[in-house]
Amino acid sequence: MLEIGFITLSLTYEYIRWYHFFMFKKVLFLLVFLLLFSPAFAGELEDQSRLHSRILLYLYTPECGYCRQFDTTYQKLNAKYGQNCKFIKINANTEYGNELMRMFNAFYVPYVMLINNEKRTVQRIAPECLMNGSCMKDAIVKFIK
């Protein structure tokens, strides 16, 4: 009688062990999935796009000379048009910035995009326009209207 109970207990223990093993694999898979794909789904751009209909996205790197030159133009435009358009500045050297660079097929910095969530349009600003203050101003005024 004890042997039958032992066998039953043994089978139950084996079942529980395998159940925990497979549950561990499922949880591990879920964690890996979240770690790999969370940068693509959660970030400043996604959060702000829910709140604002117009966004200027500026991807830069701290060591980029052109980015440092464009920073003054960016700050002036933000001060002047910040109430009509959300300005977002993201370091392209970070994991999230790198993910955005890949997502938008950006191969250079500074990289500036105008995103209109109402019209569902995206406009890339040409690099030669970035250093020309009047060109950037015209592009933003046209974008805001």
- pLDDT tens figures, 48-81: 877 888 999 999 999 999 999 999 889 988 999 8
Whether the per-residue pLDDT at 13 is higher than 70: the answer is no
What topology is assigned to 44-144 in CATH?
Answer: Glutaredoxin (3.40.30)
Mean pLDDT (whole number) for 12-23: 57
Alpha-carbon distance 25 to 27, whole Å? 5
Report how far apart, in Å, the C-alpha atoms of 105 and of each of 98, 101, 113, 129 are.
10, 6, 12, 19
- pLDDT bracket for residue 140 (50, 70, 90): confident
The token pair at 46 is 């996604």
Alpha-carbon distance 91 to 141, whole Å? 25
Higher pLDDT, 19 or 140: 140
pLDDT at position 109, please? Answer: 93
pTM over 0.85: no
Strand boundaries in 18-143, DSSP class E: 54-60, 86-91, 111-116, 121-125
Please, what's the b/e burial string for 70-81 (b: 16 or more CB within 10 A of its CB; e: otherwise)?
beebbeebbeeb
Report how far apart, in Å, the C-alpha atoms of 120 and of each of 24, 54, 110, 115 are.
42, 10, 23, 8
Domains of the chain, residue spans: 1-41, 44-144
- pLDDT tens figures, 83-135: 989 999 999 999 889 988 998 889 999 999 999 888 888 889 888 888 787 88
